[in-house]
Structure 1
Amino acid sequence: MRSDYLFTSESVSEGHPDKVSDQISDAIVDLFLAKDPEARVACETMTTTQRVILSGEIRGQGIMDADGNWAPGVEQEIEETVRGVVREIGYEQDGFHWQTLVFENHLHGQSVHIAQGVDASGNKDEGAGDQGIMFGFACDETPDLMPAPIDYSHKILHRLAEDRKSGVAPFLEPDSKSQVTLRYKDGKPVACTAVVVSTQHAPGYDEGEKEAELHAYVKGVVTEILPDGFVSDDTVWHINPTGTFEIGGPDGDAGLTGRKIIVDTYGGAAPHGGGAFSGKDPTKVDRSAAYITRYLAKNIVAAGLASRVTIQLAYAIGVSEPLSLYVDTHGTGTVDDAAIEDAIRGIAKLGGLTPRGIRTHLGLNKPIYRKSAAYGHFGRDVDGDHFPWERTDLVDDLKAALA
């Protein structure tokens, strides 16, 4: 590993068109899991000027019957959920308004061929919802054991959204992006060399005193969020570098579920598997196995077994046990990487890392996903409580297994 270098990560706000799509898809997952904890959901969303389109496959009690007929009232609940998400984000613009947008629902029943391979039956345990590889990562750069550039990029945009909604910064609109470049020395972040923030704004905030007000506000937020001393006279600023950013969100560009997977994870500081998270129920290992690998990685670092770790799991569709488990501590481990792999396999309460074992251990069959769909799935708490995959309650088990 290099010890001295620059590294950059980006984030996008809840009002970015792709993130609007992610949040709608996950709100549908939550709606269906609240009705049936065993619901199967694969919901894709497209957003564009004054339009939201849903597609995908579903199955669940109280949602849709075997013949593809909706349960009473569910179609209306779906539309109300979609409009509610758009309203909460803050879109009341001519080109995208929660109340007047055109909504299309093309969700349909799950393929019986997929169902027969995934469902438990007879002596067969429930299998993975698809083949794939999933990665988890943790490092000791921040208190939440996340890479610093993505952590700060998320926090900047989250603050902008909070200030927009509270009235502190009424000149902001929902769509925004951030990018943070940090200088690393001896493998640790020590300074911020560049910041990019592009934020949708009210008319007039692209020139003169109003533009200066917006720039000063953004610089103040960034300086407050980054550690003391990271921002200096040498930091390069790019605030709304295109000049004007009044047209944004789905009116400015179409959005799709699952297009911001690096924003969702580790900002490029670690590998990402083949699948996105949002819109999928937790039987899909694209989601649940990515969560358990993050959970394992975070507990390994929290236990002092490494300062940086990457974990990979691989699955085959319809097969319950993972095909492989790989741990890499990047030369920072206090014990052999293979010993950590053996320790993970030996912790009974993990359920053998099967799809059902993961869901049971982390309690994933609950409507908790809408809040994960903006500002990253990892390294943060929501409403004062961590997501279950952010817990560090496996530390003692790991230490005991490696004693």
Structure 2
Amino acid sequence: MSQGHLFTSESVAAGHPDKLCDNISDAILDACLSVDPSARVAVETLVKAMDDGSHIVIAGEVSIHGGHTVDYEAIARKTASEIGYTSHDYGMCANDSESCKVQLFLSSQSEDISQGVNEGEGMFESQGAGDQGLMFGYATDESESWDELKGFYMPLPILLSQR
């Protein structure tokens, strides 16, 4: 008997906490690259609303050269506010430092990881990738059989999860 496999996908809307976290991490990356184009940034963001307030947790490794600094807390608050998290009724009021706490757990990139991503260093001279996850995507015509899905050219699981 042949064993099959099940492939699932999730798609979340703009206001979803996963998207908020992605946007905060992206904004931090953009800010770091704006002050140092060769900055190394591996940042994860977590948000949690509680009855007594909310929390934004930013953790990871950031290496910025040239003495430049980035205000991570201000970036997180601004990004969350621009998305619409401006009231505890919506899950958090990112502008209110009393009800929304931002915690930072950031350090410089470790030497072990740096060795693996710096060109010409480490065991594999051309590795060039860190410890982040694997993402994939592709254009496909697998949804062209359905009239309501024609012209999207996205993988069918993604299109179905967005319906």
TM-score scaled to structure 1, two decimals?
Answer: 0.31
Range 50-59 or range 88-97, more displaced: 88-97
Residues 93, 40 of structure 1: alpha-carbon distance in 2 compared, 3 angstrom cutoff: same
Deviation at 1:137, TM superposition (A): 2.7
Q: Which has the higher helix share?
A: 1
Q: Within 5 Å, which residues of 2 pair with 1:74-113?
A: 74=70, 77-94=71-88, 95-100=91-96, 101-113=100-112
SS in 1 for 2:104: strand
Q: 2:47 aligned with 1:43, yes or no? A: no
| 1:55 corresponds to | 59
Shift of 1:88: 1.2
Q: Equivalent residue of 2:128, what SS?
A: coil
Which residue identity lines up with residue 155 of structure 2 in the other structure? P
Amino acid at match of 1:84: K
Query: Residues 81 and 93 (structure 1 numbering): CA distance in 2 closer, same or farther, change over 3 Å?
Result: same
Question: CA-to-partner distance for each residue in 1:245-290, whole Å, 9 max, x for gaps?
Answer: xxxxxxxxxxxxxxxxxxxxxxxxxxxxxxxxxxxxxxxxxxxxxx
Query: Which residue is 1:21 aligned to?
Result: 21
Higher RCO (C-alpha 8 Å, min separation 6): 1
Match of 1:125 in 2: 126
Higher Cα radius of gyration: 1
Question: What's the counterpart of residue 139 of structure 1?
Answer: 140
Deviation string for 1:276-319 (max 9, x for gaps)?
A: xxxxxxxxxxxxxxxxxxxxxxxxxxxxxxxxxxxxxxxxxxxx
1:10 CA displacement: 4.8
Rounded Cα–Cα distance in structure 1 between residues aligned with 2:36 and 2:102 = 24
CA distance in 2, matches of 1:22, 1:117: 25
Q: Mark the CA change 1:134 to 1:43 in structure 2 (over 3 Å): closer, same or farther.
A: closer
Matches within 5 A, 1:250-399: none
SS in 2 for 1:120: coil
Q: 1:209-228 maps to which residues of 2 (within 5 A)? A: none
Q: Secondary structure at the match of 1:137?
A: coil
In structure 1, how many angstroms separate the alpha carbons of the residues matched to 2:35 and 2:132? 27
- Compute the displacement of 1:92 (Å): 1.8
Separation of aligned partners in 2, 1:9 and 1:121: 37
How many aligned positions are there?
138
Query: Residue by residue, what CA displacement relative to the aligned partner does 1:163-194 show, whole Å, maximum 9, x if unpaired?
Result: xxxxxxxxxxxxxxxx52xxxxxxxxxxxxxx
Identity %: 45
Contact 2:57 2:103 in 1 (8 A): yes
In 1, distance between residues paired with 2:108 and 2:120? 20
Q: Aligned runs of 1:5-20 on 2, under 5 Å?
A: 10-20=10-20
Closer, same or farther: CA 149–127 of 1 in aligned 2, 3 Å: closer
Once superposed, which parts of structure 1, at least 4 consecutive aligned residues long, lie more than 6 Å away? none
**How many angstroms apart in 2 are the aligned matches of 1:131 and 1:18?**
17
Shift of 1:82: 0.7
Q: Structure 1 stretches of 5 or more lacking a match?
A: 1-7, 64-70, 154-178, 181-403
| Alpha-carbon distance in 2 for matches of 1:41, 1:93 | 30
CA distance in 2, matches of 1:82, 1:59: 18
- Cα distance in 2 for partners of 1:87, 1:59 equals 26
Cα displacement (A) at 1:61: 1.9
SS in 2 for 1:116: helix
TM-score normalised according to structure 2 size: 0.70
Please give the secondary structure, in 1, of the residue aligned with 2:138: strand
